[in-house]
Structure 1
Amino acid sequence: MSSKVSYRQQISYCGKPQCRKCSRGIGHGPYWYEYRTVNGQTTRTYIGKKLPPEIQARLEKVAQSPNRLIQDELEGATVRVFTFGHFRLERRTQRQWQPVSEAGWQQPAVRSLLAYLLCSPERRARRSQLPAALWPTEDPESATRRLSRALSTLQHLLTPRVSRPKATSLLQTSDEWISLADQAALWCDASAFTRLASRPPSTNEEEYERQLRRAIALYNGDFLPEEHHAPWVLSQRQKLRQDWLSLLLALADLSLKRNETTAALDQLDRILIADPTYEPAVQRFLYALSLLKRRGEAIRAYHRFYQALQKEQLSPSAETMQIYEAIRQGHPLRFPFTTQPRRERPPERPILRPEKPIQTGSQQIGRTHQNPLVGREQELQQLQALLQEIEEKQHGAAQRRSSAVPLYTQRRPQCMFLLGDAGIGKTRLAEELGRIGSQRGWLVIWSRVYQQESGIPYHIWTEALRKLLVETELFPTLRSKLLTPVPAVGEAAPELMLPSASLQPLKALLPELAGPQPPLYPSLSPEQDQLRLWEATQELLIEASQSVPLLIVLDDIQWTDSSSGELLGYLARHIDGYPIFLLATCRESELAPTHPLRNYIAHMQREHTINMLQVKPLSREAIGKMVAHLPEEMVERIQEKAAGNPFFAEELARSTPPALPGSIAAALDHRLNRLSRPCQHTLCNAAILGGSFEFHMLSSLEHDADEDTLLEQLEEALQSGVLIEEGSGSRITYHFWHPLMVDHLYKALSRIRRARLHQRAATILEEMYQGRTDEVAAAIVHHLIRGDAEPARIVHYAEIAGDHAQALSAFAEAEKHYQFALHYLEKLDQQSERRTALQERLAECLMIRGNFQEAHNLYNEILQAQGHALPPYEAQKQALLHGEVGRAWRNKGETTLAHQACEQGMQILREAGITSGFAWARLLYQQGSIYSMEGRYTAAWEAAQRALDYFSYQPDTQHPTSGFTTRLERTLQGDQVNLGNIRRLLGQVAAAEGRLGVALEHLTIARNIFEQAEHKRLIGHVSCDLSYVLIKMGRLKEAQAALRHARTLAEQIGDTPLMGVVYSNYGELAASQKNYEEAESWYQKSIVLAEQHSDKVYISMRCAQLALMQGEQGKLSVATRQITRSIRTARAIQNNPCLGTALIVLGTLRTIQADEAETMPILQKHLLRCARRDIERALHLPGLEAELLLKGKLALAAVAVRQGTAEAQTLLAEVEASATRSSFTFLSEQAHELRLQAP
């Protein structure tokens, strides 16, 4: 196991708006941290303000070596400034350097002034500019006075005691300028670093290594970290950081070149600790690990790098992915990297500037009043990357153009095709790129061809060139040049210096250029005329691009003629190295297999002159954002109907359902009209089967259909793009191109024909799936309802479909089919026992999906239909039904009513003479769950333990069951899932009492039971519980994995109550990492779901958490509304844990308000007294969780610190010890940090 340890001193910023130190740029600390790297994994450990003596001595010994390296520079200096890692000032006293410790050096204004002068060119700045630059929020007079005081203090600090005249020259002031002495007199580590980093590499490797190490040794952290928001320091900090990374990279390359792989890994570790997304270092890191045969570690390192890029919405380069694939497949790697450090990353701003003053930023690109582009970030990023790549080519363009033509495999395309269906957003994407290009200084030329213009030769290029000449104002010059080949004596040459003869062919495309001048060339062959035309077009584009870069958009190129396609291919081959970007949009489905453009595209792909970008349908979330202004029901309908097509989504948003907008109908008819009548008839019949179907199903639906004829019609639909096929062999499935096509075809059928086809489809499915109709029961129900079949048949299959969906944890589908069954059962007016069974199953689905009120009503309806004197088995079921009523009350926060319902169930068992068994175990478990919600943890633990004892009971007789069983029936049969629920409750209670280790043990046992039972919903719930405990223990990666699993399962089964808890836990996770804005968003989502389910306990708890997150961000007005709601809700349901949480948060908010009232001491004292009163009141409430008690004491200690009372240290010591003992990691760290600040 390889490891590496380093120590760093860092300033900490808490991020609280009310923190004076952070708002003034001073921060907290500096604190020391230990960085330990073991097998590529780096962990950071807090040490404190001071290092242990033995480590301090070792570091001081090491630190002397850089001083010896720069001894020559320091010889004449009297003051030296360290800006890397921590801003400090030292003066020479005889031969020793002593840190400046005067109070004036701690003044933020003095430090900012010195920092600004060090960042300024030549270390000088105009006096008039300094006040606004340093203190932009202050009024000019105050800022000027502050500058005068800072100058006086800085002058004093830079003046040594022995020789004032000499030192006075270190800071020179005048009415206009303020300047610092140069490096020889006032030495700065950043200046020394820049000088060393900018020196050209030595040809001697050993000398080059010393040069690198000298520069690297000076960099001890970020440049001027305390000026973390100052705009005048950000660019300098970034440049120095990049230089440092480049030097480390060069040193690593030297080590790799010498086969010193371990040393190279040490350097690369330092780079990746500083910047995990620094791709050159990642490439070398993977290469070095592969040399050491640590293939698994290299793969893990790549995955960490990939995840880091994903957070920034970036992707690895092709080279990095090739290295990864080679390592993954065990292929050897060569060291392909240069030993020269990369001095800077590619510039983000455009590097091209038009030589001619052409206005591009004001161009009108595309349609006006468009909605913002959503869901196309990745595609737009690819287009922007190609745009920037073309810009960067200009650096070496002249040299490349003078050399031989590059090989096809070395050519970088400057032509991009956007492929996709009608309405998918190709033109919209091109318009967005056009706007970006226009802002970056590109001239956008837009040309479009329509279907009726497809026979006009070169039409799309004629329009493009005409617009180009108008936009660049080259038309008069070009026409003059054609009419006057040679300028008169003494006349200035025109700007467009092209030979007249080479431009003559342009007259064929642009007749307006023609004049009385006869042709310069004799008549040539058609092939030669065509080549001259292409060359003239190329030369015109190249000449125009010398004034301004060109983005030429060719919209709907599928309608263009063959000649235009050939010209596009020619230009794509001959514009390499020039600032010309060709962008074409194309409906691939409109291109026939014999269309010439397909052949040209294939040629360009072989020649590497074209990139293809498939514009795919938008995600459901992106469509939702597009139409977010509409009601939620309409948004969901559009998401389903649009199927990712943004044009369809916009048109549906403007229309009134259920009518199909005329524009969409026209687009669908455009495709259908290209098909034969028999093919359209077959597709109408296929629409009965829904969005997808199989051949044998369609052939069975068609009476007396010839299979060969049917296959020909399907092939016709496939070629036109109306159908898509999937699968192989005999398992082929056909899908309609778009769901709206199904609706359009379906409505073309008469009602009687629809009904007959639906009934025929249901009968075919019954025959085909005889003996396993549960697989297709849902489809059969759909066809029977649409075909207006008899109710008994619908009820039969709806019950089967509901049972099948519930077995697959598809509770939304199950709920729908049980409702179908109950609805059509009403028409039969019989079978009350069957009705009760269906109601029970439906109520179970409603509970899982969070519809507690509806489930409660159904359970009550079932109970009212039952009698009183029941046999033992039926009595147990009735008792359990009362338990389910209690469960519904509990989930709504009505614990008193929940207790009453559970007690009713227990009374029924007593009256029936049942004193033990699974029914008792279930009711006791539910009673314990209610106790836990109320904060009565001892009673909850005892109830769960009793339930665990009762679970060992085995009944003598069992009620015979057949087929599908409800959860209550499975409970009476001894379902092990109930044992898992009891273990889960024990884990929850242990966590509430602060016994996190015990909680983890019980929850793990519960998860194992649920996994053995393959119970997805409960696996999701216990995973969510585990994530909460792991967050409290500080095991964040494990918590995140558990949360992801819980969220995936909740989304799969549609368990919205679980989703609410998952969102809440994500908020806890973000809050533990001080990502308060993200936490606020998660808590808001959780509250929305809690409101849907009327869960008052969760509403109160999450409103309090939300208020705390808003308070931490300084949003005290909105936080006040949330905490008020939390307190009112907690009092309404009389829940102590909710009320205690709300009061402690209220006290914390008052403490934040007191920090902001620093200038009003009377108000500040009043707020702190109120905060103390609120927190103490909360701590006296019974039934609070152990973590909440610790949070309350920590909040009370924070108040004591501000009040300056002696109890602060006692409270903090108690909290730190208790939190450490109970494994509450973050509470322990917070208490420790507060102890450092306490008096």
Structure 2
Amino acid sequence: MARLLERTCECTIVQGNYEEARRGYECILMLRNQKRRFASEEERKQEAQIQALIWREIGRTWTANGFFDQSYECYQRGKHVMLETGVTSGAAWACLHLELGTIRSLQGSYDESRRIILEALEVLEQAIQERENDGKSQQVEYGRGGEESEQSNNYSSFQTRTELTILGAPLEVGQAHESLGIIAANVGQFAEALQQLHQALAIFEQHDLVTALAQVYSNLGALHAVKSENTMALTYMQRSLKLAERLGNQPNIAMVTGNLGEMASRSGDLRQAEEWFRRSLAMAERINEADQISWCNTALAVALQDHGDLVGAAECIRRSLSIARSMKSARNIGAALIALADLRIIQAMIACKLQDKGKNSTNVPQPTALSTRLLLRAKSTIQRALSVEGLETERVIEGQLILANTRFLLGDLARAKQEAVQTMEEAKQYELTRMLARSYRLLGRVLAAQGNYTEADACFEQALQVFRDCELHLDYARTLYGYGVTLLEREPCEEVQLNTGLTYLHEARAIFANSHAAIDLELVDHILASYRSATVGASLNYSPE
């Protein structure tokens, strides 16, 4: 009965019904703890390992719901069960500690997580090697669709996941490598991340573990997206979604649709991005996967902000922060604060450029009282975000860039230049192409404001080239906008510069309109309208000699 119920719980997990699965696993523990006699000490130890792994599964349901304290308590219970029977090594011991590593990673403690997972992986691989050398255990095999099969004289029926884990299942080894890959990606070690994820991929493909394949495809897609390798990213994500939908795997569907939303957002397809994010969010809320809900609210806020819905963006950030704080998830708190700081900068720009009736149309606008307050709040918010431990490397560099932009808008050009250069160097170091190009764009604006037009032009051209090559359309248009504004305001403004500047602004406007980037569109229209007004005024004041 307990074994059949465990297989039912495995299916329930795939459907994302974590609370129901948790109740099922608790029933399994109750059934297995009924008075029974063991034929040998070895049998008693095996039962302890199975129960410890059941505790691991209970902990995983708590982790999915964002309750890390309860998950850690389950780890402790499982460890205690094994210690009582003298089990301090082996596959079950290793896999229990792999789960602890996952918890620490989600909390942002990447160094500790990596250490725990590496130690556990070593124990797991040693246990598998010993089993193969002894030749006593079953040979675990996997059939089509991720279903397990075995060649054994001891079992006449299928094995549960816990029984396979004690034997040293390839799934656990693959997931350990995948976890190491995710950690490496979070700290900016992308070559290491790719190596670990491809090791996991090879294991999952060899054993036809399709549920695991759906997840690792999504993670590979996300990694390639961070590196702005969009074609490869999209290929992996589409594979992931196809598998996840075929299996009805709701957690994976929630994850990959969110990643597809991020891809669409980066490329400037804001309507498609919003659709993907809302689909991901609806799925994550249905299964109450707190980490995904928090992350997706932050990502949706960015898309809504670009789309012009600042009220909706603010609400999403509020929700994300609330969930992240209840989870005690440092990385999600930091990500939400970064989004909040960026929102306040946009509010400041609107206050400065649109509420001052045409007086602020320059590269470095003169802040109004309201915009200054908003920029100072943005500066304070981003500094808080950057003090949070556990932020992914891309988030840290994004935050540093936002801080530099805040200083630029406040008129502190020297500090803005220094921080933009520093951000550029770090983006190069970690091969973060999008952040590198954004650094070039900001540095171009700073240099132009300082009158260093030759270097400014080189920075703008570099940014445009990267965004064009990577098909990051919205970033490309924003670079055209910034470049165009600096060309129009140069003194003296020659006709070639004037025409080029206007061409860039009109091209940017077309992209903003196509992307439905409402605020960007309003800002560029404001600049063009101001220029047209000035041109008409000059024409009216002109009289031929």
User: Who is 1:1236 aligned against?
Assistant: 444
The answer to whether the Cα contact below 8 Å between 2:257 and 2:276 also exists between their aligned partners in 1 is yes
User: Who is 1:1188 aligned against?
Assistant: 395
Counterpart selection for 1:852 from 6, 15, 18: 18
Q: Say yes or no: does 1:1021 pair with 2:228.
A: no
Question: How many Å separate the matches in 2 of 1:1236 and 1:1117?
Answer: 31
The answer to whether the Cα contact below 8 Å between 1:1024 and 1:1046 also exists between their aligned partners in 2 is yes
User: Who is 1:838 aligned against?
Assistant: 4
Secondary structure of 2:431 counterpart: coil
Structure 2 unpaired stretches of 5+: 39-43, 139-153, 357-367, 450-545
Specify the code of the residue in structure 2 equivalent to 1:882: W
Q: Which has the larger radius of gyration?
A: 1
User: Who is 1:1211 aligned against?
Assistant: 419
User: Who is 1:1172 aligned against?
Assistant: 379
Specify the code of the residue in structure 1 equivalent to 2:382: I
CA 1:978–1:1044: 2 relative to 1, 3 Å? same
CA shift, 1:1218, in A, is 1.1
Counterpart selection for 1:945 from 98, 115, 118: 118
Counterpart selection for 1:913 from 70, 82, 86: 86
The answer to whether the Cα contact below 8 Å between 2:2 and 2:32 also exists between their aligned partners in 1 is no
Specify the code of the residue in structure 2 equivalent to 1:1109: A
Question: How many Å separate the matches in 2 of 1:963 and 1:857?
Answer: 24
Specify the code of the residue in structure 2 equivalent to 1:841: R
Question: How many Å separate the matches in 2 of 1:1060 and 1:1237?
Answer: 39
Deviations 1:836-885 (A, max 9, x none): 11110010111111111100010011112222887011110000000000
Question: How many Å separate the matches in 1 of 2:404 and 2:60?
Answer: 39
The answer to whether the Cα contact below 8 Å between 1:921 and 1:950 also exists between their aligned partners in 2 is yes
Specify the code of the residue in structure 2 equivalent to 1:909: M
The answer to whether the Cα contact below 8 Å between 1:859 and 1:884 also exists between their aligned partners in 2 is yes
Q: Aligned runs of 1:391-410 on 2, under 5 Å?
A: none
User: Who is 1:1103 aligned against?
Assistant: 297
The answer to whether the Cα contact below 8 Å between 1:1175 and 1:1195 also exists between their aligned partners in 2 is yes
Counterpart selection for 1:881 from 50, 54, 65: 54
Deviations 1:561-607 (A, max 9, x none): xxxxxxxxxxxxxxxxxxxxxxxxxxxxxxxxxxxxxxxxxxxxxxx
Structure 1 unpaired stretches of 5+: 1-834
Question: How many Å separate the matches in 1 of 2:418 and 2:22?
Answer: 50
Question: How many Å separate the matches in 2 of 1:865 and 1:976?
Answer: 28
CA shift, 1:1099, in A, is 1.1
Counterpart selection for 2:432 from 1218, 1221, 1224: 1224
User: Who is 1:866 aligned against?
Assistant: 32
Deviations 1:124-182 (A, max 9, x none): xxxxxxxxxxxxxxxxxxxxxxxxxxxxxxxxxxxxxxxxxxxxxxxxxxxxxxxxxxx
User: Who is 2:534 aligned against?
Assistant: none
Question: How many Å separate the matches in 2 of 1:1091 and 1:1145?
Answer: 21
The answer to whether the Cα contact below 8 Å between 1:1021 and 1:1046 also exists between their aligned partners in 2 is yes
Deviations 1:1106-1148 (A, max 9, x none): 1111111221111111111111111122211111011110000
The answer to whether the Cα contact below 8 Å between 1:1090 and 1:1099 also exists between their aligned partners in 2 is yes
User: Who is 1:680 aligned against?
Assistant: none
Identity of paired residues, percent? 31
User: Who is 1:1078 aligned against?
Assistant: 272
Counterpart selection for 2:342 from 1142, 1148, 1151: 1148
Question: How many Å separate the matches in 2 of 1:883 and 1:1192?
Answer: 36
The answer to whether the Cα contact below 8 Å between 1:1032 and 1:1223 also exists between their aligned partners in 2 is no
Specify the code of the residue in structure 2 equivalent to 1:1018: A
Q: Aligned runs of 1:1000-1079 on 2, under 5 Å?
A: 1000-1079=194-273
Question: How many Å separate the matches in 1 of 2:7 and 2:297?
Answer: 34
CA shift, 1:932, in A, is 0.8
The answer to whether the Cα contact below 8 Å between 1:880 and 1:923 also exists between their aligned partners in 2 is yes
Q: Aligned runs of 1:669-680 on 2, under 5 Å?
A: none
Question: How many Å separate the matches in 1 of 2:107 and 2:168?
Answer: 28
The answer to whether the Cα contact below 8 Å between 1:1175 and 1:1196 also exists between their aligned partners in 2 is yes
Deviations 1:652-681 (A, max 9, x none): xxxxxxxxxxxxxxxxxxxxxxxxxxxxxx
Specify the code of the residue in structure 1 equivalent to 2:11: C
CA shift, 1:1017, in A, is 0.8
CA shift, 1:946, in A, is 0.9
Question: How many Å separate the matches in 2 of 1:990 and 1:839?
Answer: 36
User: Who is 1:677 aligned against?
Assistant: none
Question: How many Å separate the matches in 1 of 2:12 and 2:33?
Answer: 25
Q: Aligned runs of 1:647-666 on 2, under 5 Å?
A: none
TM-score (norm: length of structure 1): 0.32
Question: How many Å separate the matches in 2 of 1:1129 and 1:992?
Answer: 21
User: Who is 2:193 aligned against?
Assistant: 999
CA shift, 1:1061, in A, is 0.7
The answer to whether the Cα contact below 8 Å between 1:892 and 1:1094 also exists between their aligned partners in 2 is yes
Counterpart selection for 2:72 from 899, 907, 910: 899
Counterpart selection for 2:180 from 986, 999, 1017: 986
Question: How many Å separate the matches in 2 of 1:1115 and 1:1104?
Answer: 14
Q: Aligned runs of 1:610-625 on 2, under 5 Å?
A: none
Q: Aligned runs of 1:197-236 on 2, under 5 Å?
A: none
CA shift, 1:1194, in A, is 1.2
The answer to whether the Cα contact below 8 Å between 1:1072 and 1:1226 also exists between their aligned partners in 2 is no
The answer to whether the Cα contact below 8 Å between 2:15 and 2:251 also exists between their aligned partners in 1 is yes
User: Who is 1:443 aligned against?
Assistant: none
Specify the code of the residue in structure 1 equivalent to 2:375: L
Specify the code of the residue in structure 1 equivalent to 2:400: K
Secondary structure of 2:88 counterpart: coil
CA shift, 1:958, in A, is 5.0
Question: How many Å separate the matches in 1 of 2:207 and 2:407?
Answer: 52
Q: Say yes or no: does 1:928 pair with 2:101.
A: yes
Secondary structure of 1:1157 counterpart: helix
Question: How many Å separate the matches in 1 of 2:272 and 2:403?
Answer: 26
User: Who is 1:137 aligned against?
Assistant: none
Deviations 1:202-255 (A, max 9, x none): xxxxxxxxxxxxxxxxxxxxxxxxxxxxxxxxxxxxxxxxxxxxxxxxxxxxxx
Question: How many Å separate the matches in 1 of 2:384 and 2:427?
Answer: 21
CA shift, 1:1074, in A, is 2.1
The answer to whether the Cα contact below 8 Å between 2:264 and 2:273 also exists between their aligned partners in 1 is yes
Question: How many Å separate the matches in 2 of 1:961 and 1:987?
Answer: 35
Counterpart selection for 2:326 from 1132, 1145, 1150: 1132
CA shift, 1:1166, in A, is 0.3
Question: How many Å separate the matches in 2 of 1:1093 and 1:1213?
Answer: 44
Specify the code of the residue in structure 2 equivalent to 1:1070: A
The answer to whether the Cα contact below 8 Å between 2:91 and 2:166 also exists between their aligned partners in 1 is yes
CA shift, 1:962, in A, is 2.7
User: Who is 2:523 aligned against?
Assistant: none
Question: How many Å separate the matches in 1 of 2:288 and 2:239?
Answer: 26
Q: Which has the higher strand share?
A: 1
Question: How many Å separate the matches in 2 of 1:918 and 1:945?
Answer: 14
CA shift, 1:978, in A, is 1.0
Specify the code of the residue in structure 2 equivalent to 1:1007: L
CA shift, 1:1083, in A, is 1.0
User: Who is 2:517 aligned against?
Assistant: none
CA shift, 1:1231, in A, is 1.2
The answer to whether the Cα contact below 8 Å between 1:841 and 1:966 also exists between their aligned partners in 2 is yes
CA shift, 1:1075, in A, is 2.1
Question: How many Å separate the matches in 2 of 1:893 and 1:1065?
Answer: 20
Question: How many Å separate the matches in 1 of 2:321 and 2:350?
Answer: 24
Where do 4+ consecutive residues of structure 1 move more than 4 Å? 955-959
Question: How many Å separate the matches in 1 of 2:289 and 2:422?
Answer: 35
Secondary structure of 1:963 counterpart: coil
